[in-house]
A and B are shown apart, each in its own frame.
Chain A
Amino acid sequence: MIDNTALVKSTLDPVGVLFSCPVIESSPESITIFPCVTFLDSGHDDSDFADGKAQADLVTVIVDIWEKADKETGIRKEVHQSVDAAMLKADWYKSGFAHLHEPSTDVHHYVQKYSKVEAQ
């Protein structure tokens, strides 16, 4: 089985300088540092069968990008496009997207779902 954690981390490493917090693998209690990226290992499905055996692993991850305007400057550092570009460059394909805005906290939450077929 492909290690999603290593895959996503290596994919986002080149743009890591953009983030003020490291990529978090599992959901923390709450998001307090912005911008921040969390991700969830969403699924591993067998794919490309030959002689009854799976030849590939369909990996799916959900990358959550949390952005909020700085209290002092009022500027929101947008990193979701950089994350998206890095994932697409690493041959992930986007299989889902949602943008949620929390009115009470003014947090912008970008949910981006990516899939990739990896040979086993």
Chain B
Amino acid sequence: MANDGIQAALEDWNRRITAKAHAVVLAADRGNMKAAFYCENEAKKNAVREIYSIPIKKSPKTGKDLWKRTALYKAGIGSGVHPSLAHTAMIYASVPYAKWLEYGTSKNPKALYILTNAVMKNRAAINRLIAQAIGGVTG
């Protein structure tokens, strides 16, 4: 009789722990996504600072700055859940020339590191967002 009580208590404890662990993992995933949204926003800010606030060239006729931009790169920046890795979020730039902007080319070696800096310069904020999300569950 006493053993049954202990067994029931252990099963109840196991159920609670499993539910709690599941809730923590879900919260961490939510935190990951929040962090990815944050980094996407920072990447778009970086893009504005590095690309869109600088004129392309001066007009040969008038000498005025030319600002022609399509904003395709900025629109192509996005974030989401990684398709094959669990508990992993990612930010990406979908335009095909994004890698040349990010890392530079031999003709224009100045790399802009728009996506890299959006993550690497905001590690403290990423940690805070994930910790806040987990803290909401664990108290």
Measured CB to CB, the residues of A under 8 A from B are 27-28, 30-31, 38, 40, 42-43, 60, 62, 64, 66, 68, 96, 98, 100, 102, 105, 107, 109, 111
B111 near A105 with CB under 8 A, answer no
Report 21 cross-chain contacts, Cβ distance below 8 Å, ordered by A residue. A27-B104, A28-B109, A30-B108, A31-B106, A42-B120, A43-B120, A62-B111, A64-B103, A64-B104, A64-B111, A66-B109, A68-B106, A98-B99, A98-B103, A100-B100, A102-B105, A105-B105, A107-B105, A109-B105, A111-B103, A111-B111
A107 near B106 with CB under 8 A, answer yes
Q: Does B69 have its Cβ within 8 Å of any Cβ on chain A? A: no
A47 to chain B, nearest CB (A): 11
B109: contacting residue among A27, A43, A98, A105, CB under 8 A: A27
Contact pattern, B 90-129, Cβ under 8 Å of A = 1, otherwise 0 = 0000000001100111111111010010001100000000
Per the bound structure, the CA–CA distance linking A68 and B116 in Å amounts to: 26
A65 to chain B, nearest CB (A): 11
B111: contacting residue among A31, A40, A66, A107, CB under 8 A: A40
A64 near B99 with CB under 8 A, answer no
Q: A residues within 8 A CB of B105?
A: 102, 105, 107, 109
Question: Which size class do B's interface residues fall under?
Answer: 10 to 19
Q: B residues within 8 A CB of A43?
A: 120-121
Q: A residues within 8 A CB of B109?
A: 27-28, 30-31, 38, 64, 66
Q: Tell me the interface secondary structure of chain A in the complex.
A: strand
Q: A residues within 8 A CB of B100?
A: 100
Summed over the interface, the residue pairs from A and B with CB atoms below 8 Å come to a total of: 47
A27 near B121 with CB under 8 A, answer no
Query: Sorted from nearest, which 6 A-B pairs have the closest CB atoms?
Result: A31-B106, A107-B106, A27-B110, A27-B109, A111-B103, A30-B107
B106 near A66 with CB under 8 A, answer yes
Per the bound structure, the CA–CA distance linking A112 and B110 in Å amounts to: 15
Known contacts A31-B107, A43-B120, A64-B109; 5 additional CB pairs below 8 A are A42-B113, A64-B111, A68-B106, A105-B105, A111-B103
Q: A residues within 8 A CB of B108?
A: 30
Per the bound structure, the CA–CA distance linking A107 and B99 in Å amounts to: 14
Q: B residues within 8 A CB of A100?
A: 99-100, 103
Residue of A nearest to B99 (CB): A100
B125 to chain A, nearest CB (A): 13
A60 near B120 with CB under 8 A, answer yes
